[in-house]
């Protein structure tokens, strides 16, 4: 059972710029439309856990619902899932460890943990096992950071690194809970 992150940041670790913008994420020409491992990653997870913000952002996309896997929306105050997404997503809340246990017991072992605040919440409780971080090569100089304060330092190992489009690097980190 693994909780996995797959996310893009700037070199200085932001997931959105000073104005909340994410245009820079898609600013590098990608003529062959490489997905930088996204479909492969998605094929290896059983369900997603995301925060309310990420869920509502996805709902606002003017596209078809993008996920083939069940989505669990972490929220204490979202009253209900919009009817059109009723069969796609459900609300969960409570203690993270309880939520994960419940989802695992439903048979979803490999979980995609998405959204800045959700990832931060999981990291604070040392509940992330793998992080694939795609570095879009900008220094933004400010914005919404992926990482924030943690009570304890967490050791990982970088087990793989790929360069896409000759410009973008994607590093895969796995958590090492024994001291390294």
Positions in the binding site for a copy of itself (CB under 8 A): 11-13, 17, 24, 27-28, 123, 131, 133, 135, 137-142, 146-163, 166-169, 171, 173, 180
Shortest reach from residue 119's CB to a copy of itself, in Å? 11
Residue number with CB closer to a copy of itself (12 or 102): 12
Shortest reach from residue 156's CB to a copy of itself, in Å? 4
CB 110 within 8 A of CB 41: no
* C-alpha angle 155-142-121 in degrees, rounded to nearest 5: 40
Shortest reach from residue 88's CB to a copy of itself, in Å? 31
Shortest reach from residue 84's CB to a copy of itself, in Å? 37
Residue number with CB closer to a copy of itself (42 or 174): 174
In this structure, the strands spanning 89-92 and 71-74 are parallel
Tokens of 96: 């993270």
Report how far apart, in Å, the C-alpha atoms of 143 and of each of 6, 12, 21, 140, 148 are: 19, 9, 9, 7, 12
Tokens of 154: 């967490």
Residue number with CB closer to a copy of itself (85 or 147): 147
């Amino acid at each position: 059972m693994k909780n996995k992150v797959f996310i893009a940041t700037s070199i200085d670790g932001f997931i959105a710029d000073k104005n909340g913008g994410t245009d820079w994420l898609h600013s590098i020409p990608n003529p062959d439309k490489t997905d930088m491992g996204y479909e492969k990653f998605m094929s290896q997870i059983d369900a997603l856990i995301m925060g309310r913000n990420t869920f509502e952002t996805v709902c606002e996309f003017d596209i078809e619902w993008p996920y083939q896997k069940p989505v669990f929306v972490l929220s204490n105050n979202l009253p209900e899932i919009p009817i059109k997404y009723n069969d796609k997503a459900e609300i969960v809340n409570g203690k993270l460890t309880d939520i994960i246990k419940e989802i695992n017991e439903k048979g979803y072992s490999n979980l995609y943990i998405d959204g800045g605040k959700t990832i931060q919440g999981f990291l604070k409780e040392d509940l992330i096992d793998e992080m694939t971080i795609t570095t879009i090569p900008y220094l933004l100089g400010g914005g919404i950071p992926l990482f924030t304060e943690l009570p304890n330092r967490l050791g990982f190992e970088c087990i793989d690194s790929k360069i896409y489009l000759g410009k973008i690097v994607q590093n895969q980190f796995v958590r090492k809970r024994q001291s390294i």
